[in-house]
Amino acid sequence: MDLSLNDEQQAFRALARDFLDREAVPHRVEWDRAESVDLAIVPKMAEIGFFGLTIPEEYGGLGGDYVTYSLAMEELGRADSALRGIVSVSSGLVGKSILFHGSEEQKQEWLPQLAEATKLGCFGLTEPDVGSDAGNLTTRARRDGDDYVIDGQKLYITNGTWADVALIFARTGSDGPRGISAFLVPTDAPGFEAREIKGKLGLRGQATAELFLDGVRVPASAMLGEEGTGFKIAMSTLDKGRLAVASGCVGIVQGCLETAVEYATSRTQFGRPLAGFQLVQDMIADISLDADAARLLAWRCADLIDRGEPYGVAASKAKLFASEAAVRAANNALQVHGGAGYVDEYPPAKYLRDARVMTLYEGTSQIQKLLIGRDETGISAFV
Amino acid sequence: MSEQHRSDLEQRVTALLEAHDPATTGRAEFLRARWDAGLAWVHFPEGLGGLGLPRDLQAHVDDLLAAAGAPDNAPERNGIGLGMAAPTILAHGTPEQHERFLRPLWLGEEIWCQLFSEPGAGSDLAAVATRAVRDEPSDEWVVNGQKVWTSSAHLADFAILVARTDPDVPKHGGLSYFLLGMREPGVEVRPLRQLTGEAEFNEVFLTDVRVPDAQRLGAVGEGWRIANTTLNSERVSIGGQAVPREAGMVGKVAAAWRAAPERRTHGAHRRLLDLWVQAEAARITGSRVRQQLAVGAPGPEGSATKLVFARLAQELSALEVELLEEDGLRYDDWTLTRPEKVDFTGRDAGYRYLRAKGNSIEGGTSEILRNIIAERVLGLPGEPRVDKDVAWKDLPR
Ligand SMILES: Cc1cc2nc3c(=O)[nH]c(=O)nc-3n(C[C@H](O)[C@H](O)[C@H](O)COP(=O)(O)OP(=O)(O)OC[C@H]3O[C@@H](n4cnc5c(N)ncnc54)[C@H](O)[C@@H]3O)c2cc1C
Ligand SMILES: Cc1cc2nc3c(=O)[nH]c(=O)nc-3n(C[C@H](O)[C@H](O)[C@H](O)COP(=O)(O)OP(=O)(O)OC[C@H]3O[C@@H](n4cnc5c(N)ncnc54)[C@H](O)[C@@H]3O)c2cc1C
């Protein structure tokens, strides 16, 4: 077993960190307060390669491996989880759905633009009444001649107001998961409206929206994959998405570790650095352990994908552990900072608010446990 | 609590309500009459708003008055005054100071804040660097320095202040305690935005602020001992009040659970029950601690209730956010406000979750409380202290 990174992976990580330390870290508090990152950073991020990492070179991407992708997500999570969300939704959820399930024309049309971030994508699955229970979604796509006409509503859609293309999951057939199909819907289509949801606890720099589809007409060629396979597409894409969330959370833990160590070694109380108190080292050791454990789980998942082996449960474990670890690490880092931890300007506050959201979306911790439990026992306890 | 005390009190409350019908009496007038009747804080001495009775009886008085529709003194607006300044002034003040400060404090006419923490002195409070220098001719002290994390400084009329009066002795011995006027020239208050988006606390800059010697509390050099009265009271006042079952954060979570049957899971149920039992145990322990406090100022025992309060507040508020699933993403208001009061269970779930993070820091961090419990309650050997016998001015900074 070799857990070392190769030269290319190390070089990418160094490049990513250097770029984000310059272009993102100094602005993240300001972006968070303003509820929007400065979108001018998107093309710069594309230049580094964040958006094209796992898209093959023939479609304008870098064709990188998933370990590198995990490293990239970690660096983004360490710098600003809002940026991580923008990338992993546009190139991850949307790009990978197209890459693995799209027709050649769909790939040619969208992938190069997503890889260069000249277009952004959003992923339209969750609805006001269906969150964890996506198989019961109610948005409908009705066949009308050579077209489909889509009606429905989507909620908590990352990139919703910024996206050029929305991957919309809608019901084309009977009830349940088998009646769902996926469509690539241009967001400037008549009847498509996105409204930003302001006032979030975390991930405030990324646009989260409600989507309204009112008689949106798309050609039949906009369907992604076969009719009735939408749910399968969504689930297999979300498995990979979990790797992105997990890796982003590793970045949060890593960021918490660095800021806690830096604060505890530079501030003095009772004539000693804070790091000289056992109870403070206890917190730092916990963060450090969480960083290693979360990272190893994420890397294992990435490695399974790179080797073409099943990775779904590994992704669930990584996401569950890393997101809970991110909350723990942020709490610990906040506590190490004392009163300063409770101030908006210092890093722990934002890490904490972002981490909290990670345990709630892309499959809550409870759902991940049921996935893992089903795998271990062979019995589904989903209700 | 004795039945005799209880019925005496009930008679007094009835008499107050008869003489000053809340329906026809103005708020200020009613509160003054309540003070004069000794029903403001029954554990304070007679003549100072109390009757010298055990403090647990106060909750009964408050209930009777609330049931009769009487106004209260808006205690949430003056938590530091009522919970910290008042017991300290009572314990260490002169009769003149009692007379001057306690009544307007209780009435809410004068709001108080706490000028203890500094950029260089948080947990290590005895290291404060703010200087108070005596100006003999005027019989005043001249104060210079910077304080930080000062809750409600933007509302306060007075502050309890710990300042260094003698830099030549070891740090604990060179401190004195003052009651400083926040409206005096030289006091500058700047908001500090915190995790919740609001600015509940502030930075306070003190430049040549004058405090009359008559507003020094206790002897010169006694500041550390007096500050400990304040800190012990603070730990009882954060999370140590008498509350009914399922009040506070546990009540919020239980309500969220009851309101959304479709979101219940077995995992969440187990956590809720576990935390509910712990909250109930903490509540009952708190009541026992308060009975021990019936006489005199609180000792270090309150550290344990405050420690547990903070942990439970954080775990319960986290569970509440999780129960909301994706809606837990929402946050009600991010504008930089300067709140009128401190309310741990106010606003929505997201706010409560973030506000609770302060509970393990304010009033002594959870780590410091563990040290206090170990050393002063359990009598375990102390941490090695490198700076105990060195003159403050010679300490590395
Ligand atoms: C089943 C068993 C088998 C063992 N087999 C062997 C063996 O084959 N060979 C052998 O040599 N030993 C053996 N040991 C001994 C074992 O290694 C010691 O018990 C262990 O090192 C702890 O030392 P102690 O018991 O003296 O506890 P102490 O060192 O006295 O520790 C007591 C407590 O204080 C804490 N503590 C100690 N120092 C510090 C500090 N500086 N700061 C904070 N906390 C501290 C510890 O974490 C612990 O909680 C065995 C022990 C057990 C239980
Ligand atoms: C919401 C809020 C309101 C507040 N309001 C007020 C107020 O009104 N007035 C006021 O004066 N102050 C106020 N404070 C300040 C508060 O009292 C201090 O923040 C607190 O005492 C900690 O000090 P510090 O921030 O300097 O942290 P530090 O003392 O620097 O502590 C940093 C970390 O080191 C740990 N640590 C420090 N010493 C030790 C040790 N010996 N052993 C183990 N661990 C240690 C701490 O536990 C903490 O985790 C408020 C704080 C908050 C969060």
Question: Crossing angle, helix B349-356 and helix B248-259, to 10 degrees?
Answer: 150
CA pair distance A371, B243, nearest whole angstrom: 41
Q: Is the CB of A338 under 6 A from ligand 2?
A: yes
Q: Do B365 and A352 touch (CB under 8 A)?
A: no
Matching residue, tokens 């190490």: A336
- Residue B385's SS3 state is coil
CA pair distance B365, B117, nearest whole angstrom: 12
What confidence score (pLDDT) does residue B296 get? Answer: 58
Ligand with minimal distance to B374 CA? 2
CA pair distance B297, B92, nearest whole angstrom: 11
CA pair distance A119, A112, nearest whole angstrom: 9
Domains of chain B (ranges; CATH) run: 2-72 (no CATH), 112-219 (2.40.110.10), 239-361 (1.20.140)
DSSP letters, A91-120, are IIIIHHHHHHH--HHHHHHHHHHHHHTSS-
Contacts of B387 in chain A (CB under 8 A): 270-271
Q: Is the CB of B358 under 6 A from ligand 2?
A: yes
Q: Is A362 a catalytic residue?
A: yes
Q: B383 pLDDT exceeds 90?
A: no
Ligand with minimal distance to A334 CA? 2
Please tell me the distance between residue A281's alpha carbon and the centre of ligand 1 in angstroms.
Answer: 19
pLDDT in tens, B262-290: 888 888 999 999 999 999 999 998 888 77
Q: Do A335 and B122 touch (CB under 8 A)?
A: no
Domains of chain A (ranges; CATH) run: 7-119 (1.10.540.10), 122-228 (2.40.110.10), 232-377 (1.20.140.10)
pLDDT in tens, B131-189: 999 999 999 999 999 999 999 999 999 999 999 999 999 999 999 999 999 999 999 99
pLDDT in tens, A332-363: 999 999 999 999 999 999 999 999 999 888 77
Contacts of B322 in chain A (CB under 8 A): 359-360, 364-365
Closest partner residue to A271 (CB to CB) among B325, B350, B386 is B386
Q: Which residues pair with A169 in a beta bridge?
A: A182
Contacts of A334 in chain B (CB under 8 A): 195, 357
Contacts of B365 in chain A (CB under 8 A): 335, 338
What confidence score (pLDDT) does residue B267 get? Answer: 86
The tokens for A254 are 């890593």
Interface membership of B191 toward A (CB under 8 Å): no
CA pair distance B110, A277, nearest whole angstrom: 40
Closest partner residue to A156 (CB to CB) among B321, B329, B387 is B329
To test the contact with chain B by mutation, choose from A126, A155, A283, A342 the residue with the greatest count of B C-beta atoms within 10 A, namely: A342
Q: Is the CB of A342 under 6 A from ligand 2?
A: yes
Q: Do B192 and A280 touch (CB under 8 A)?
A: no
The tokens for A131 are 């969150």
Note whether B365 and B307 are within 8 A (CB): no
Interface membership of B386 toward A (CB under 8 Å): yes
CA pair distance B397, B129, nearest whole angstrom: 10
Closest partner residue to B395 (CB to CB) among A204, A271, A345 is A271
Ligand 2 atom nearest B121 alpha carbon: 26
Q: Which positions of B are catalytic?
A: 234
Contacts of B199 in chain A (CB under 8 A): none
Interface membership of B364 toward A (CB under 8 Å): no
Probe residue for ligand 2, chosen from B361, B372, B375 as the CB with the greatest number of ligand atoms within 8 Å: B361
Note whether B356 and B249 are within 8 A (CB): yes
- Range 155-174 of B in CB contact (< 8 A) with A: none
What is the ipTM metric for this complex?
A: 0.90
CA pair distance A360, B263, nearest whole angstrom: 13
What confidence score (pLDDT) does residue B179 get? Answer: 98
Burial of A339 (0-12, 13-18, 19+ CB in 10 A): buried
pLDDT in tens, B50-72: 999 988 788 889 999 999 999 99
CA pair distance A79, A178, nearest whole angstrom: 40
Ligand 2 atom nearest B364 alpha carbon: 21
Closest partner residue to A338 (CB to CB) among B326, B365, B383 is B365
Q: Is the CB of B116 under 6 A from ligand 2?
A: yes
What confidence score (pLDDT) does residue A291 get? Answer: 98
What confidence score (pLDDT) does residue B225 get? Answer: 96
Q: How far is CA A210 from CA A170, A193, B322, B330, in A?
A: 15, 8, 21, 13
Q: What burial letters (b/e) apply to B129-162, b meaning 16+ CB within 10 Å?
A: bbbbeeeeeeebbbbbbbbbbbbbbbbbbbbbbb
Rounding to the nearest 10 degrees, give the CA dihedral for residues A371, A376, A378, A379.
-60
Q: What share of chain B has pLDDT > 70, as a percent?
A: 98
Note whether A53 and A61 are within 8 A (CB): yes
Q: Which pTM does this prediction carry?
A: 0.92
Give chain B's end-to-end CA distance (angstroms, integer): 51
pLDDT in tens, A145-203: 999 999 999 999 999 999 999 999 999 999 999 999 999 999 999 999 999 998 899 99
pLDDT band, very low/low/confident/very high, at B380 (cuts 50, 70, 90): very high
CA pair distance A151, A212, nearest whole angstrom: 8
Residue nearest to atom 25 of ligand 2 (CA): A339
Q: Is the CB of B151 under 6 A from ligand 2?
A: yes
Q: Is the CB of B122 under 6 A from ligand 2?
A: yes
Where is A33: in which H helix or E strand? helix A28-34
Note whether B302 and B232 are within 8 A (CB): yes
DSSP letters, A236-279, are HHHHHHHHHHHHHHHHHHHHHHHHHHHHHHH-EETTEEGGGSHH
